Amino acid sequence: MKTLRQFTRNHLLLHLRIPAALTLIAAAVVSAIASFHPDSPNTRLTNDNGANGGYVSDYTLVTGQPYTDDVLTACSQSRGRQNEPSVAVDPRNPQVIVGSSNDYCGVFASDGTFIGLGNVWLGYYRSENGGASFTSSLVPGYQSDTSPYAARSHVRTADSGDPVLAWDNHGRLFAGSESSTNPERPTQTFGDVWVATYENPNGPDGATTDDGKEFVTSVDVARGSAAPNLLGKFHDKTAIEVDRTSGTCDGNVYFAWARFTGNTPNGYNSSIYFVRSTDHGRTFSSPMKLSQTIHDIQFPDISVTGNGHVYVTYRQFADVRGHQFNDAIIYNASSDCGQTFSAPQVVQTFEPYDPIDILASGGTTGECGDFALECQSGYTFMRGGTQVRATADQTDATHDYLYVVYDPSIPGTEVASGTTYGSIVSEDLPDSYHQNVGSQSGIYFFRLDGATGAHTTPVLIDDPQTHGGLQRFPDISVDAGTMHALWWDSRNDPCYDPRRPLGNCADGSTGPSLDVFGASGSTATLTWSPSTRLSDATSNPNWEQFSGRTVPFGGDYLYISSVGPFSYGVWTDWRDVVPGDDPREGDDSDNDGADVHQCRTQNPDGSFGPDTCPWEGGLDQNIYGDTTP
C-alpha cells in the first residue's frame, strides 16, 4: 500500500481443483475462453466516473434493498485513484470473478471536500459474466458505513490496503488486507492485518452465480502497535491462499505477511509471519514467524500443492548488517496443513532491479517527483523493485511443484546511467547504497520441487532484449496443467533506455510508456507461448497524483487468476488521467509532462491552497482487466 516507502529503508524504498460439477464448469470455461480476444476492449473494474452504476453496497447486492451513504456517493463519481489490484476466478463457476484494490474513491466527498486518508479502503468488484463487466463496491466496515453489514466487520482500522483474494471449493471468497490508521488518533498507525469472508447467501449448495457474494465477517489476525510515522510494529505485504484439494486440509485458509518493526538499532527490521484458519475464516491461529534469523525480507506468496502441502516464498534483500550478501528467493515448507514449517531455504539468488535516486536535498529515494521529492537526476518515476510470485497446481497430487516468476536485472545489461539514477543497489557500500548503474529487467520463470529443493534453470518468458523495453511486476497462476502469466512491459516506450527510469526521456519529460502483456504455457513442457499485449492503451505511469500531486505511485503488484485454461488479469492503469499544470511550480516548472489537472488558488503570501477540483480527472487512476492467453 502507500506505506512501503517508509518500510524498505533509504537504500531501497520499494517496495484447484475443479469440483464435482465438472460438466457445468467445463461449459462455463469453454464459454469464457471463447470470449478471449487480445484486441477486445479492456474492462474497467472501478466505476467511479459517474457511469456504469457507480458503487453499490454489498448489502444491496445481496438483498436488493436500497442503501447508500456519503462514501458510496463520493465513490460513484469521484474519478479517484485505485492501485495494487487483485483478482480471483471462482473455481466452481469461472463466470464469477471478484477483483479488489487500494481504493481511494472515498478520500474526497461528492463536493470535493477532503475527507482524509481514513477512506482509503478495499474495493470489491464483482463480475458474473466472465469479466465482461463489473459492479463496483467496497468491503463493508469502512468509515461512514452504516449498512446492516457494517456490524459484521470486526477490524479496528480507519483505512486498509494491499488486498489479496482466494476462493475455496464451496462458494466462499476470502479477502486479506493490511490496515493502517488509528481512527481515534489519525497521526498513529495500527498496522493490523485482517481477513474478510464472503459466502454464497444460499450456502454451498446455492447457485454458483451467487458464490462469494455476501459479506459475513472480517477479523483481525494480527495486531500492530499504535505509533506515529510507522515506528511501531506494522504488518504489510499480504498473501492468501486456500486449500482446494478435496483432501484432509481442504478449506483451510492460509494468510501471510511481512512484519516491520521500527525504532530498532539499525532502522526497520522485517520478518515473515503466517496464520491459518480451519473454520472458514471465523478464527485464525496465533501468528507464526517463518523467516527465523533472516531479516530484511518482503513479498510473501503462498502455494498449496495437490497433496495439501503448503509453501511460503518471499524475497530476501541483500543486507550486510544481517550478513545477507545476496538478494534471493527463499521458501519455507509445511507437510501438516500449515501447523509447522521447515527452516527457510534459499532457492535462487539474483541481481535486483530496484530503481533508486538521490533527492535534491540529499538522501536516497525510490521515487522522484516535485518539491521535497525532487531528485538530482531530474527524472520523475514511481517506486518499484524486484518481485517474487509463486503458485502451485492444486490438481496435481503427484508432485510438490511450485511455479515461480520474478523480475530482476538481466545479467549483461548493466550500464552507467550518467546521473544519480540507478536500478542496481549494492550492500558492499555501507555509506552509499547507490551505484549509478542502470539495467534492463525481465520476467524469469522456473519450476521448484518443494520436496527436494531442486529447480529448473530460470529462463526469460519473453526476452525484452529482442524487442526493447523493460518488464516489471509479474504474476503467475497455474491450474489443471495450464500456466498463465502477466506483467507490465515498456516495449512501446519511445524513450526507453536502461540508463533511465521507466517512461523517462533524456530531457526529463515523461509520456505513455507502459502496457500489460501476458503469455500461457504447459506444465508438461514448461514452455511459454509468444507474449500478447493485453492493454489496449499505452499509459503514462509517472503522473504525479500522490503526496499532494507531487509524486507518482502505481502500487507494488499486478494480479492474475485462472481455472483450467481460463484466466483473467488486472492491472493499475492511467489511460483516463486528465493532464494539467501545477501552478505551484511557476517559472521553475520542470516540464516533465507529469502534472495532472488541478485547481488551486494563490494566497496573499504566495502559497497555494488545496486542489479544489479533484473529481475532474487529475486523479483518475483506475483498475482495468481482461481475459488473458
DSSP H or E run through 89: strand 82-89
Residue 240 · residue 98 · CB < 8 Å:
no
Question: CB atoms < 10 A from the CB of 32, how many?
Answer: 25
How far is Cα 386 from Cα 114, in angstroms, rounded to an integer?
34
DSSP H or E run through 570: strand 566-573
Radius of gyration of the chain (CA): 23
**Beta carbons within 8 Å of 455's beta carbon, 6+ residues apart:** 347, 348, 404, 446, 447, 448, 449
Place of cell 478464527: 283
What are the φ and ψ backbone dihedral angles of 466, each rounded to 5 degrees? -85, -20
How far is Cα 29 from Cα 25, in angstroms, rounded to an integer?
6
Cα-based distances in Å from 199 to 167, 170, 206 = 10, 9, 10
pLDDT value, residue 226: 66
pLDDT value, residue 421: 96
Put simply, whether the predicted model's pTM sits higher than 0.85 gets the answer: yes
pLDDT value, residue 24: 38
**Structural domain boundaries in the chain:** 4-627
- At 320, the amino acid letter reads V
- At 383, the amino acid letter reads R
Give a three-class secondary structure readout of 275-344: EEECCCCCCCCCCEECCCCCCCEEEEEEEECCCCCEEEEEEECCEHHHCECCEEEEEEEECCCCCCCCCC
- At 219, the amino acid letter reads V
Nearest partner of 380 among 392, 371, 367, judged by Cα: 367
- Mean pLDDT, 10 residues at a time, the chain of 629 residues: 34 32 39 46 96 96 96 93 98 98 88 64 97 98 95 91 97 94 72 95 98 98 74 82 98 95 62 97 97 88 98 90 83 98 97 96 95 96 96 97 98 95 68 71 98 98 98 98 98 98 96 98 98 98 96 96 98 98 87 95 95 94 98
Give a three-class secondary structure readout of 416-471: ECCCCCECCECCCCCCCCECCEECCECCEEEEEECCCCCECCCEECCCHHHCCCCE
Return the C-alpha cell found at 553: 505511485
pLDDT value, residue 269: 78
Q: Structurally, what CATH architecture does the domain formed by 4-627 represent?
A: 6 Propeller (2.120)
What are the φ and ψ backbone dihedral angles of 73, each rounded to 5 degrees? -65, -45
How far is Cα 532 from Cα 549, in angstroms, rounded to an integer?
33
pLDDT value, residue 325: 82
Return the C-alpha cell found at 105: 474513491
Place of cell 491462499: 241
Q: What residues form DSSP beta bridges with 346?
A: 330
